[in-house]
Amino acid sequence: MKVLVACEYSGKVRDAFIAKGHDAMSCDLLPTDSPGPHHQGDVMDIINDGWDLMIAHPPCTYLAVSGLHWNKRIPGRAEKTEEALSFVQALMDAPIDKIAIENPVSCISSRIRKPDQIVQPWWFGHDASKKTCFWLKNLPQLVETNRLPGDDKTRRANQTASGQNKLGPSADRWKIRSETYQGIANAMAEQWG
């Protein structure tokens, strides 16, 4: 298949599909962290290029429920949420047969539609907690591949005792937090490819 991985700089999902024999390319405004087929620029410039499958990871900065409280406190931030929602809708409306939109718990659920699935990294072999939502078009829900013991109340390696992410402040914190877990990337390539 011809696969577009939109809004991905890490190359993890792209490379998982390439490893399965697909013609995959990542696209992001940032350069790729991993050498491989990558379009640095606006995904809308290439969205009509005959893709069979698109997996999109739109930036969650102005979408995630965890940050929406800032919309009433910071002038202009609510407008950025509206722009982000318009971008998500444009991705959903792309002329591509199979689409997966990935984001954390966000206002996409209340403003566009509820997700088709919510997964956790610990379903795919990672000792980590991070609810990940998928809005799907012509794709099945991902099936867990390596579920670790415990449940949603189990504290994982990436959490503090209160359940918050324990990754400390840094210039790259946003980038590290946004990367797709390899087990989830591999499941996408195996099950959707």
pLDDT value at 60 more than 70: yes
Identify the pLDDT of residue 84: 96
Rounded distance, CA 10 to CA 32, Å?
A: 6
Tell me the average pLDDT across 13-37.
97
Tell me the average pLDDT across 66-83.
90
User: Is CATH 3.40.50 the right assignment for the domain spanning 2-192?
Assistant: yes
pLDDT value at 39 more than 80: yes
6 and 56 in contact (C-beta within 8 Å)? yes
Residue spans of the domains in the chain: they are: 2-192
Where does the chain have alpha helices with state H? Answer: 12-19, 77-92, 108-111, 173-178, 182-192
pLDDT value at 71 more than 80: yes
Lowest mean per-residue pLDDT among 116-120, 157-161, 180-184 = 157-161
* pLDDT band for position 174 (cuts 50, 70, 90): low
Rounded distance, CA 132 to CA 115, Å?
A: 10
Tell me the average pLDDT across 178-192.
94
pTM of the model: 0.92
pLDDT value at 110 more than 70: yes
**pLDDT tens per residue, range 122-172:** 999 999 999 999 999 999 999 999 999 999 999 888 776 766 676 666 677
pLDDT value at 86 more than 70: yes
pLDDT value at 80 more than 90: yes
Give the CA-trace dihedral at 172, 175, 176, 177, to 10 degrees. Answer: 120
* pLDDT band for position 12 (cuts 50, 70, 90): very high
Rounded distance, CA 115 to CA 154, Å?
A: 23
Task: Determine the angle formed by the axes of helices 12-19 and 182-192, rounding to 10 degrees.
Answer: 40
- Mean pLDDT, rounded, of the chain: 92
Phi then psi for residue 3, to 5 deg, are -115, 130
pLDDT value at 175 more than 70: no
